Amino acid sequence: MGEEKKVALDFSFLDGCNCGILFLSCIVLSWIFIHRWSQRGKKGPKTWPLVGAAIEQFMNYDRMHDWLVKYLSDSRTIVVPMPFTTYTYIADPANVEHVLKTNFANYPKGETYHSYMEVLLGDGIFNVDGEMWRKQRKTASFEFASKNLRDFSTVVFKEYSLKLLSILSQVSFSNQEVDMQDLLMRMTLDSICKVGFGVEIGTLDPNLPKNSFAQAFDTANIIVTLRFIDPLWKVKKFLNIGSEALLDKSIKVIDDFTYSVIRRRKAEIKDSQATSKTSKIKHDILSRFIELSEDPDSNLTNKSLRDVVLNFVIAGRDTTATTLTWALYMIMTHAHVAERLYLELKAFEEERAKEQNVSLLQFDTGDLESFNQRATQYTELLNYDSLGKLYFLHAVITETLRLYPAVPQDPKGILEDDVLPDGTKVKAGGMVTYVPYSMGRMEYNWGPDATSFRPERWLKDGFFQNASPFKFTAFQAGPRICLGKDSAYLQMKMALAILCRFFKFTLVPGHPVNYRMMTILSMAHGLKLKITKQS
């Protein structure tokens, strides 16, 4: 009898548990149903209780820029709730102007962005706000306006473009394949290290040596970008596991290189001051910041200088190289663009040679040495002013940036509640992200041919015509507009003017071309090409 009673009690307990689970399940399902019902008619990705749109965003992570294009085509503003914040993505120039200029003070980089990127960019100009940002920008602005730096940059950009041409001419004669993105990354890294920090690192040497700094920098860039959608990154960082453990190793390699650069430049400056060797003084950006650090009131430490170096690396290496990579891809896949650009460069060459009374060498495609001599002679016709007259070349680069902006999206923090011009309410503590990649593909911004590659859209009566920086946002706009814009165009025009004058590029059959998710819009698999010479 006692056993029967015990069994009855056990069943009663189990029935109670089952009822409780069933009741809880009904509540959860009702909660999810009510949440989904409340979302009906709203434009944007599907959201769920607690996790927001994290599931859909994670599933589309590798193609996130095109994922956003789909939603921003239907609505100029979309709100994407995430577990710990809410992202508001904007593609309307009026909203962009409000965020980047009109109410600039309310939309800083913010604590969230800073925490994600601090391990790589520290307190550099791209990762800080307020007085720290203003001081760095003032110094950098002064340097970029310097004629000495501009002239020095022109010489350096020409030097490394010629080094690249020499490598490519060898490749074309031996009928090899080449990863153009890798070569361009090497060229721009060598260039920024010489222009920005006064050092030669030789990654574009003919034997193409491996560079641990460049590899570590790319790895770190990918991992810090992943933090934006990885809610567990702080746990992995605390436990030093997974991607965060790899990030830690990469940062150590990056820091070893960067601090060695700083020590070398400090030693050279000290030697110059001690011996009055003015010829050793270099017109690089790091030297200017080192001079400032000697002022006791500057608060610039070696760590501050490290942050300066890495911020300029990501600005001067990655952005320029990826734009050049996409530009070559667009040129080679649009025959009429390649032909018109070649004709502009050839006509420019003949006109400049006539102006300077230069007799052009006989072009001989059968001999490597004479080919390089001919190309070297051509580059002597290129300088800051003459490159400025290549309007179609400028339009090709700009059209590339419209469709493939180096920075495809740029998030800002929100200090106080605000209302955007289109009526969208944004809450303090959230993020607003303007999306250059999407903006360039919106018909409401560029017309029915928005997705077409048409450099001609930038020309009027043969001359280049700018668009509003709040519509063409590749260089940002407002108080944070890119200081290195002219320098970037100078290097890109120098490189393309040389490469597209002497070579034709063909994509290796079957090579996949798509982007890799990181702060910069690089190609996931590089750009594998075959190269042939043209006279």
Annotated binding site for heme: 482
Q: How far apart are CA 524 and CA 61, in angstroms?
A: 13
Q: In whole angstroms, how far apart are CA 288 and each of 143, 194, 233, 309, 407? A: 8, 14, 36, 12, 27
Nearest one of 312, 205, 202, 197 to 260, comparing CA atoms:
197
Q: Is the backbone of residue 110 left (phi > 0), alpha (psi -120 to 50) or beta?
A: left
Do the bridges between strand 410-413 and strand 459-460 make them parallel or antiparallel, or are there none, so unpaired?
unpaired
Tokens of 70: 């789909």
Distances (CA, A) of 395 to 158, 282, 330, 455, 460: 21, 33, 12, 5, 11
Annotated binding site: 482
Integer angstrom CA distances of residue 382 from 38, 162, 284, 492: 62, 12, 22, 13
The first and second tokens of residue 423, run together, are 């009526």
Distances (CA, A) of 357 to 347, 350, 360, 391: 15, 10, 9, 23
Strand partners, 432: 88, 412
Q: Which long-range contacts (CB under 8 A, 24 or more apart) does 112-119 make?
A: 112/85, 112/411, 112/413, 112/431, 113/411, 113/412, 113/413, 113/431, 116/224, 116/227, 116/228, 117/224, 117/519, 119/220, 119/224, 119/247, 119/251
User: Angle 157-161-163 (CA atoms, 0-180°, nearest 5)?
Assistant: 120
- The CA-atom distances, in angstroms, between 287 and each of 51, 139, 268 are 48, 11, 10
Amino acid in the structure at residue 261: V
From the list 203, 204, 128, the residue with the least C-alpha distance to 161 is 204
Q: CB count, 10 Å around CB of 422?
A: 13
CA 506 from chain centre, in angstroms, equals 25
Rounded to whole angstroms, the Cα distance separating 330 from 397 reads: 10
The closest alpha carbon to 60, from 45, 50, 48, belongs to: 45
Report CA Rg, the chain: 27
Q: Report which DSSP code applies to 531.
A: E
Asked whether the beta carbons of 442 and 73 are under 8 A apart, the reply is yes
